[in-house]
Amino acid sequence: MTRKTIIIFLSLLLFLSIPVYGYSNTGNVNISNIALYQNIDYSSNIVDVLSINDKVTILNDSNNWLQIKTSDGKVGWIEKYFVNLTPEKYVLNTCGSRVNLRSSPTTSSKIVGQAECDETLKYVDTFHSWYIVEYNGREVYMASWLGEIISYGKDKIYLIDDKINIRNEPNASGTVLYQGNKYDSFDYYGESKGWIKIKLPSGEYGYVAGWLTAYNNNNFINGINGYKKTTDNLRLRVGPSLNDKIITVIESGEIVRVIDNMGEWDKIITASGKIGYSYNEYLKTCNPLEGKTILLNPGHGGKDPGAIGYSNKFEKYVNLDVALKLQESLKNLGAEIVMTRTYDTYISRSYRANMSNNIKPDIMFSIHHNSLGNHNYFGMSTYYDTKNNANGYLGKKLANCIYDNMVQINGVYRDGVYDRNFEVLRKTDTPAALIEIGFMSNEWEERNFHLESFQNEAVKKLSLAIIDYFQSVN
Ligand SMILES: [Zn+2]
State which of 150, 175, 192 marks the end of a domain. 150
Q: Is residue 11 in some structural domain?
A: no
Average pLDDT in the chain: 93
Which residues, in sequence order, are CB contacts of 332 under 8 Å at separation 6+?
Answer: 287
Q: Is residue 22 in some structural domain?
A: no
- Residue 133's beta-bridge partner residues? 123, 140
DSSP state at residue 306:
-
Q: Is residue 131 in some structural domain?
A: yes
**What type of residue sits at position 246?**
I
How many Å lie between the centroid of ligand 1 and the Cα of residue 368?
4
Cα(346)–Cα(316) distance, integer angstroms: 10
How many Å lie between the centroid of ligand 1 and the Cα of residue 254?
38
State which of 106, 124, 150 marks the end of a domain. 150
Cα(30)–Cα(423) distance, integer angstroms: 33
Q: Which residues, chain by chain, have CB under 5 Å from ion ligand 1?
A: 299, 306, 368
Same domain? 329 vs 301: yes
How many Å lie between the centroid of ligand 1 and the Cα of residue 85?
34
Q: Check whether 53 has a pLDDT greater than 70.
A: yes
CATH number of the domain within which 306 lies: 3.40.630.40
How many Å lie between the centroid of ligand 1 and the Cα of residue 109?
28
Q: What integer pLDDT is reported at residue 216 of this predicted model?
A: 84
Q: What integer pLDDT is reported at residue 474 of this predicted model?
A: 77
How many Å lie between the centroid of ligand 1 and the Cα of residue 306?
5
Q: Is residue 205 in some structural domain?
A: yes
Same domain? 141 vs 268: no
State which of 233, 255, 285 marks the end of a domain. 285
Q: Check whether 64 has a pLDDT greater than 50.
A: yes
Q: What integer pLDDT is reported at residue 219 of this predicted model?
A: 56
Q: What integer pLDDT is reported at residue 462 of this predicted model?
A: 98
Cα(363)–Cα(35) distance, integer angstroms: 27
143-172: string of b/e by CB count within 10 Å (b at 16+)? Answer: bbbbbbbbbebebbbbbbbeebbbbeebbb
**Beta-strand relationship, 363-370 and 432-439:** parallel
How many Å lie between the centroid of ligand 1 and the Cα of residue 107?
26
How many Å lie between the centroid of ligand 1 and the Cα of residue 188?
35
Confidence grade of residue 7 (pLDDT, cut at 50, 70, 90): very low
Q: Report the side by side order of strands in the sheet with 255-262.
A: 246-250, 234-237, 275-279, 265-269, 255-262, 226-230, 283-285
**CA neighbor of 269 nearest in space, from 233, 227, 232:** 227
Residue 72: exposure state from Cβ atoms within 10 A (0-12, 13-18, ≥19): exposed
How many Å lie between the centroid of ligand 1 and the Cα of residue 400?
19
Residue 55: exposure state from Cβ atoms within 10 A (0-12, 13-18, ≥19): middle
Mean pLDDT, rounded, for 112-119: 97
Which residues, in sequence order, are CB contacts of 121 under 8 Å at separation 6+?
Answer: 90, 91, 93, 101, 115, 133, 134, 135, 142
Q: Which range is least confidently modeled, 6-10, 159-163, 185-189, 251-255?
A: 6-10
How many Å lie between the centroid of ligand 1 and the Cα of residue 446?
14
How many Å lie between the centroid of ligand 1 and the Cα of residue 32?
29
User: Which CA distances in Å does 314 have to 240, 299, 307?
Assistant: 53, 11, 6
**Beta-strand relationship, 234-237 and 246-250:** antiparallel
SS3 of residue 208 by DSSP? strand
Q: What integer pLDDT is reported at residue 224 of this predicted model?
A: 57
Q: Check whether 20 has a pLDDT greater than 60.
A: no
How many Å lie between the centroid of ligand 1 and the Cα of residue 441?
12
Same domain? 319 vs 382: yes
Cα(132)–Cα(413) distance, integer angstroms: 12
How many Å lie between the centroid of ligand 1 and the Cα of residue 397?
22
How many Å lie between the centroid of ligand 1 and the Cα of residue 239?
50
How many Å lie between the centroid of ligand 1 and the Cα of residue 241?
53
How many Å lie between the centroid of ligand 1 and the Cα of residue 268?
40
Cα(184)–Cα(197) distance, integer angstroms: 15
How many Å lie between the centroid of ligand 1 and the Cα of residue 300?
6
SS3 of residue 358 by DSSP? helix
Q: What are phi and psi of 3, to 5 degrees?
A: -55, -40
How many Å lie between the centroid of ligand 1 and the Cα of residue 313?
13
Q: Check whether 401 has a pLDDT greater than 60.
A: yes
How many Å lie between the centroid of ligand 1 and the Cα of residue 383?
12
Q: What integer pLDDT is reported at residue 226 of this predicted model?
A: 87
Q: Is residue 2 in some structural domain?
A: no
Same domain? 193 vs 238: no
Mean pLDDT, rounded, for 344-372: 97
Cα-to-chain-centroid distance, residue 130: 18
Same domain? 322 vs 431: yes
Q: Is residue 394 in some structural domain?
A: yes
Q: What residue spans of 333-375 are helical by DSSP H? A: 349-359
How many domains does the structure of the chain reveal? Answer: 4
Same domain? 339 vs 397: yes
Q: Is residue 375 in some structural domain?
A: yes
Mean pLDDT, rounded, for 422-451: 97
CATH number of the domain within which 237 lies: 2.30.30.40
Phi-psi region of 174 (alpha: psi -120 to 50; beta: other; left: phi over 0): beta
Percent helix, strand and coil across the chain, each rounded to 5?
25, 40, 40
**What type of residue sits at position 333?**
L
Same domain? 298 vs 440: yes
Rg (CA), the chain: 23
How many Å lie between the centroid of ligand 1 and the Cα of residue 345?
14
Same domain? 145 vs 164: no
Cα(448)–Cα(410) distance, integer angstroms: 12
Same domain? 373 vs 429: yes
How many Å lie between the centroid of ligand 1 and the Cα of residue 307?
6
Same domain? 314 vs 436: yes
Dihedral of CA atoms 395, 401, 405, 411 in degrees, nearest 10, equals: 40
How many Å lie between the centroid of ligand 1 and the Cα of residue 391?
23
How many Å lie between the centroid of ligand 1 and the Cα of residue 130?
23
Same domain? 467 vs 328: yes
Q: What integer pLDDT is reported at residue 17 of this predicted model?
A: 42
Q: Check whether 183 has a pLDDT greater than 50.
A: yes
CB-CB contact of 157 with 164 (8 Å): no
Q: Is residue 273 in some structural domain?
A: yes
**CA neighbor of 366 nearest in space, from 341, 335, 345, 333:** 341
Domain that holds residue 258: 224-285
Same domain? 330 vs 434: yes
Element (H, E) at 221: none
- Residue 254's beta-bridge partner residues? none
User: Which CA distances in Å does 21 have to 62, 77, 158?
Assistant: 13, 19, 16
SS3 of residue 19 by DSSP? coil
Q: Check whether 23 has a pLDDT greater than 90.
A: no
How many Å lie between the centroid of ligand 1 and the Cα of residue 319?
8
Mean pLDDT, rounded, for 46-61: 96
How many Å lie between the centroid of ligand 1 and the Cα of residue 381?
12
